[in-house]
Amino acid sequence: MVTRTGAVLPRSVATDDGIQLVEEARPRYAMLKRLGEGAFGEVELCLDNDIDRHVAVKRLKPDMQDPDTVSRFASEIQTVGQLEHPGIVPVHDVGLDERGFFFVMKYVEGDTLEHVVARLRAKDPVYVSRFSIDVRVEMFGQLCRAVMFAHSKGWVHRDIKPANVMVGPFGEVVLMDWGLAKQVGPNGRRDIIGSGGGPAPSAYGTMIGHAIGTPAYMSPEQARGEHDKTDARSDVYSLCAVFYVLLGLQHYLKPKRNLDEILEAVKTERPMGAIAMHHKLEIPPEFAWIISRGLEKDPDRRHSSAAALAQRVQAAIEGRGPVQCPCTGMKRVGGTWSRFIDRQPNLAIVLAGLLTVSAVFGVVSAVYEVVPAVLLIAR
């Protein structure tokens, strides 16, 4: 491996004799501040002194330099490197310096989905204005498409949660942290993650060991440690748990006291039904039904893939979703009439006029029938 710790490009200085190139001993990536940390690594905001841009640098922690962890870290780099998609943060560089291994990613400015939900829950007027229900649904659609792409390339994320989703200033949605990704190949499954240790897990932090993922957002099969059964449908479960929080602003499970209770609830506790979601949390009914199906404990009863989930969400946005209850039925009729008006405005005006005349005629006819009968009774 080639070790490169310094900047390569010289600095240009204008003088009376013309442009002079000044070579300076500068680090390639100068740390500005820490952005966050996980079980194995930490992410820093750095200045790339060669390209003069901000980047995110992910490093292994000093006490996490053992071969198993380095192999896990290398696998994350190679995974993300294979996934060229607008919804997946790209890798710019990889290196080794006196602090150990690191890789360089695009720095995504903005908020995590976790922060957005927290501000919406607090009724922050700026966030309430910016992140309407329609905007949040569109953001979720972007997230689904990123996961769909990863699945098409044979990768399952296994740690989809609001803290791992960035929302950029222009509404772009980027899925981060592929450290627990699992490759699903045509000839079986190859789990790239070992059972290494790490800090004590929490309900909202990544858990390494028998159950791989974040307890509050993992699927039941992940909670049971059934790694051979963890496939694309596990990501679908996590996506719908995120969708529930994004629209309902609360987690789908009732509050629990400890990690064991969270894991048991993920395996056994049925989430609130679609009708209750609609009435209690004001989640639009068409999306409540999508979430309800995605949170089925049995993988065979969920949406079959992220692609199927994305299609259902898009159909609901366009008013083409299936009728599941009176609420979705009314929306379906309304959506059909709205699309008809958009496509045939003149004909819609004629039909509306005919319906109005018909209604007026019906009222007049009823009056003419009722009034004589009333007069006759009065006599």
- Judged by phi (left if over 0) then psi (alpha if -120 to 50, else beta), residue 168 lies in beta
Cβ-based neighbours of 46, under 8 Å, separated by 6 or more: 29, 30, 31, 32, 54, 55, 56, 57, 104
Cβ-based neighbours of 113, under 8 Å, separated by 6 or more: 139, 162, 163, 165, 166, 167, 242, 246
Q: Please, what is the Cα angle at 155 between 149 and 157, to 5 degrees?
A: 95
Q: Residue 261 burial (CB < 10 Å; 0-12/13-18/19+)? A: middle
| d(C-alpha 164, C-alpha 217), whole Å | 11
Do 242 and 162 contact (CB within 8 A), yes or no? yes
Do 277 and 258 contact (CB within 8 A), yes or no? no
**Residue 159 bears catalytic tag:** yes
| d(C-alpha 209, C-alpha 198), whole Å | 9
Alpha-helix runs per DSSP H in 20-179 = 67-82, 113-121, 125-130, 133-152
Do 265 and 256 contact (CB within 8 A), yes or no? yes
**Catalytic: which of 48, 111, 159, 235?**
159
Q: Angle of helix 274-281 relative to helix 285-294, nearest 10 degrees?
A: 130
As annotated, the active-site residues are 159
